[in-house]
Amino acid sequence: MPSELAALPQLLYQAVQVLTTPPEDPVLRFAVYSAMALAALTLAVMLQVLVLTELASRRERRRQAFTEQWRPRLAAWSMAHGDALPWPPRGRQQEIWFMLLWLRLRRQVRGPSQQRLNALFEGIGMSSRVVRLLRGRGVHRRLLSLSCLQYLADTRYWAEVTPLVDDSNPVVALTAAQTLVAMDSDRAMQRIIPLVELRHDWALPRLEALCRQAGPASVSGPLLSQLVEGEDPPLRLTSLLVWAEPNRVAPWASRLLAEGFSTQEGREVSLCAALSCLGKRRDPRDRALLLRWLEASSPQVRLAAVQALRRQAGPDEVPFLLERLADASWWVRQAAADALVELPGMADADIEAWLQDVTDRYGQDALRRAIAERRR
């Protein structure tokens, strides 16, 4: 028994030597080294995951503590000015957390509370830190700083924001445009409208939202200055006509419709926008143009003509609207039916008589639906 215990260290040494000695076969040696490398890589990845998880957990706890400390302060300051300004957040991370909290509350409040929160933001020196983030390269941080400046709406930062309208990132450029509109809508649209045809990466719904934010008075002048008489109108610009003042752009829209160019592909947008402008103006002198485009080859244009005529239609337009009840487009038939039942001074007996005169089955269905909605 003692001899066996004495030989145990020797046996263990031999076992370790066998395990650590690479095989003589090159293929087996490569397999062993690959397995060892894979095991080391797996351990390194597991260690990295554990470290990152712990760091994220600590950062989340710090953020939660920061939120619990600052949320009541911001809420109290939005209701009434405090006696003294609180200490500003310290460190880049806390500054970003504060901006996110401030933005969330700023979107929720109205009236004097907005001015109080703006005063707090300026008072603790956060505006200068926002400008510093704006000059950085991080896209998310630049978007955050632009959002803060948009709610501050102070023209002092105009020079800092304006260059970003030309940024290659369309999200950054559009957010900068929104910020400029919040600062000075008239001046901003003079800068933005000329870029509409150059920045095809700007989605049309976002451009329409910009025009709605700026208002018709700010859109009309810059838009008309870009529409050159005698040239084919740029499609993206003409689609924004509906967001301008109808009385100012209606003369240009009338000339466009009077030229009567064919509704080739892509031109329907321009025609529909022009018809919508004339409809909003409600001028009886536009009646002939509207009736003319009821016969357009494009169903989108016919629909726009019916909707424009609907705003100023009277008893004289009944025959033209009844014809549209036989239109091949479902949308045109429904719009014509709605226009007929909403004509001023028309009794239920008149509408029932129209129903008897309509021979198209689908037109009758559209008119019955409109009558039923009128009686609700």
In a domain, 104, yes or no: yes
pLDDT at 375: 74
In a domain, 16, yes or no: no
353-363 tens-digit pLDDT: 888 778 888 88
In a domain, 284, yes or no: no
In a domain, 24, yes or no: no
Tally of CB atoms within 10 A around 81: 15
* CA pair distance 313, 335, nearest whole angstrom: 13
124-153 tens-digit pLDDT: 888 888 888 888 778 888 999 999 999 988
* CA pair distance 92, 126, nearest whole angstrom: 11
In a domain, 7, yes or no: no
* CA pair distance 18, 368, nearest whole angstrom: 94
- Count: domains in the chain: 1
Domain enclosing residue 119, as ranges: 72-77+89-183
In a domain, 169, yes or no: yes
In a domain, 27, yes or no: no
CB 287 within 8 A of CB 320: no
pLDDT bracket for residue 87 (50, 70, 90): confident
- The angle at the Cα of 258, spanning 252 to 261, to the nearest 5 degrees, equals 105
Least confident range of 41-50, 153-162, 229-238: 229-238
* CA pair distance 43, 200, nearest whole angstrom: 49
DSSP 194-263: GGTTT-TTS-HHHHHHHHHHH-HHHHHHHHHHHS-TTSPPPHHHHTTGGGS-HHHHHHHHHHHHHH----
pLDDT at 3: 57
In a domain, 2, yes or no: no
The pTM for the full model equals 0.74
273-332 tens-digit pLDDT: 889 888 888 888 888 888 889 888 889 999 999 999 988 888 888 888 888 888 999 999
pLDDT at 211: 92
